[in-house]
Amino acid sequence: MRILGISALYHDSAAAIVTDGNVIAAAQEERFTRKKHDPGFPRHAIEYCLKEAGCGLADLDAVVFYDKPFLKFERLLQTYVAFAPRGMRSFQMAIPIWLREKLFQKKWLADELAKLAPDFDPSGIMFTEHHLAHAASAFYPSPFQDAAVLVMDGVGEWATTSLAIGSGADLKIHKELHFPHSLGLLYSAFTYYTGFRVNSGEYKLMGLAPYGEPKFTKLILDNLVDLKDDGTFRLDQSYFDYCTGLTMTNPRFDALFGKPARTPEQLLTPFHMDVAASIQAVTEEVILRLARSIRAETGLPNLCLAGGVALNCVANGKIHRAKIFDRMWIQPAAGDAGGAVGAALAAYHLRNGKPRVALADATDGMNGAYLGPALLPDQTEAELTAAGAKYVVLSETEMIDRAANALAEGKALGWVQGRMEFGPRALGGRSILGDPRSPAMQKTLNLRVKYRESFRPFAPSVLEEDLSQWFDLDEESPYMLLVANVREARCIAMTEAQKLLFGIDKLNVPRSEIPAVTHIDYSARVQTVSKRTNPLYHALISRFRDLTGCPVVVNTSFNVRGEPIVCTAGDAFRCFMGSEIETLVIGNCFLQKQDQDPALKLDYKAAFDLD
């Protein structure tokens, strides 16, 4: 049985295909169109998934969309009526789009799919509720036969936070919080207030938080959030404008904090850092209370997480360290893109009554998230030759050796291997790597390679077998979704003078033997690398360990600010020539910047809209 899942029209459109319960392929449309967070119909992603599964649209048993448009439209209309006459401008902008595109999505989907296959039968198109798709994406690929599933995001049709219970092939939503009371929208409101782009800059807000103090936590809980002991909450809508307006917050919100919203690219001040620290603290408290109440109510030892809020790896780390659950598993594509996987799995198990697929290695069903297009040697060489690249083709052993030596020499290394990752994280398939021992590496990669804010943290990729020697983490973290502390033995104590530094001044103080991946609070967003799921990446880090004694490398996504992660060899070469990456490895092709024709250099600083 083959089922195609689709998410589209809001942000991060994606497609995924499930064959007999196995996730065969999944990809975001942005990787093909090169338009970050592309919300359009995922034509290219669908074509890729069908090719990977070796079938056409006519061979599918179903096509499933990841939410129900009529329920979402009902919420839209009821919200505008409830807040009338406020929101007239927003209403006038939204309704034509809904009537033209979003409301009659079955016809829209049928028309778009017919462009790919004129004989496509639209009777196989189905819809699943948004939060059920998220829950399915978390539970069915997880290693658990029984689990509580917590979904937290902005909003689906009505639900913003939900609890589902999974058992075997069965999955049911048990409780929901409804719009406009949303933890995701609350966090996005602060993303907007601190000058970052909503649905994109939430990572920045989380990364900025450690530089500040949570001075406004009580202010938020006293005025914005009525938080109950069980983690449920209500938001005072008089401070927000997201229900009917064109912004997330309003003048009353500004007055509460005593300053207007920061404009994009405006200087970040200690005030903004304190605001970020405060909303992060509130978010963590909400999630911890929810987790505790879920464990108490269900008695289940396992927790699965999905929805955009589940990408808050700092909060995830707090749940893990609190030992509320015995084990937890987080969908690597926890945001809307992952809804495509969940929609297909929900149809397979719930509508068709199919049993769970037994996991061969008892890990999970996401295949390390390496679900995107693979590199093909002939195609790679053809693309590089057509681009005018100068490269040498090496044996695998020699390629790994030269790449590891480049890292040990302090060079930034573009690393493009195997299948592309699904989800927002680069996991050693489409990555830029560096030496974590270098005190200057974080600043260098941010300012000279990624062209982004200097405070943005980088993640360590660590060999699975060496994890306990470097980080306080007692389980795998293959998807870079848990923050853990660096082991105390690896840390460097701050001097009294350094302790007096404030804000961004803290950035340049080395805190451990691996300063490039150690946050200012001595934590790190850890990715464990297994020989089972990515043997080539494991071999590279192992060789780096042989050269340096360090089984850790800096890992960040292969793109510059505002650009989607690279997909093809051509994408990688263009980014290589548009940034200050010194060395590039694509498959077995080895490239050095110094060997390239200077005429091919690009200016990537202004090539993409800022995120």
3-state DSSP helix/strand/coil % of the chain, to nearest 5? 40, 20, 40
Q: Are 7 and 343 within 8 A, CB to CB? A: yes
Residue 407 in tokens = 């890292």
Which tokens belong to 343?
């929609």
Distance (Å, whole) CA 341 – CA 379: 28
Residues in CB range of 406: below 8 A, 6 or more apart? 413, 582, 583
581 neighbors 606 (Cβ within 8 angstroms): no
Round to whole Å and give the CA distance between 280 and 376. Answer: 42
* Residues ≥6 apart with Cβ < 8 Å to 275: 190, 193, 194, 212, 216, 257
Active site residue 11: yes
Strands (E), 83-158: 125-127, 146-152
Catalytic-role residue among 11, 37, 44, 130: 11
Rounded to whole angstroms, how far apart are CA atoms 98 and 235?
27
Q: What is the DSSP letter of 510?
A: -
Contact at 8 Å (CB) between 350 and 14?
no
Element (H, E) at 321: helix 313-322
Instruction: Provide the 10 A C-beta neighbour count for residue 141.
Output: 27
User: Cα(232)–Cα(527) distance, rounded to whole angstroms?
Assistant: 31
Our CA dihedral for 506, 510, 515, 521, rounded to 10 degrees, sits at -50
Q: What is the DSSP string of 424-471?
A: S---SSEEEEE-TT-TTHHHHIIIIIS-S-TT---EEEEEGGGHHHHB
Strand ranges in 477-582 using DSSP code E only, listed in sequence order = 482-485, 523-529, 552-557
| Residue that has been written with the tokens 């199919």 in this structure | 354
> How many alpha carbons lie under 13 Å from residue 160 in its C-beta half-sphere?
19
| DSSP, res 500 | T
CB atoms within 10 A of CB 539: 19
* Beta-ladder partners of 14: 7, 28
| Active site positions, annotated | 11
